[in-house]
Amino acid sequence: MDRGKVEKELKGQLNALFKSMDFVSKNFLNNEKISKREAQVFFNIYQQLGLAWEFLGLQCSHWDGYKRTRDKKEACKICGKINGTDDFYILLPKKGLKKLGVKVNPN
Ligand SMILES: [Zn+2]
């Protein structure tokens, strides 16, 4: 697959993922009408989406550059990763085999 195709596919996947995360967050995470038990289920779903975000982010080469965030950092326009930091909720090793379900401690 050529770079343009990869980039387009990744952007599409990330946009869909961000919409899903927003939906769960807006409708269920701060909803006082649902039980604590249900809220925990939605919290877990949100965490799993976060894991998918991180996985997709590993494939991003930040082709479109960065935009300024409110706290004056630079975030990738595609994946949202902050420029110059590695501590973006690291669950997956940056190099080597990605093994889901195993927590990796940052070095
Ligand atoms: Zn990026």
Q: Which of 2-6, 19-23, 96-100 has the highest mean pLDDT?
A: 19-23
Per-residue pLDDT tens over the stretch 61-84: 999 999 999 999 999 999 998 888
- Report the amino acid identity of residue 68: R
pTM of the complete model: 0.73
Nearest Cα to Cα of residue 23 among 55, 41, 53, 45: 45
Which phi and psi angles does 22 have, rounded to 5°? -60, -40
pLDDT confidence of residue 3: 83
State the distance from the centre of ligand 1 to the C-alpha of 95, rounded, in angstroms: 16
In the reported structure, the alpha carbon of residue 56 is separated from the centroid of ligand 1 by a whole-number distance in angstroms of 9
Dihedral over Cα of 83, 86, 87, 91: its sign: positive
Distance in Å, CA 60 to ligand 1 centroid: 5
Residue 41 has pLDDT above 70, yes or no: yes
Q: How far is the CA of 100 from the centre of ligand 1 (A)?
A: 21
CA 43 to ligand 1 center in whole angstroms: 25
82: DSSP letter: B
* Residue of 14, 41, 11, 13 whose CA lies nearest to 28: 41
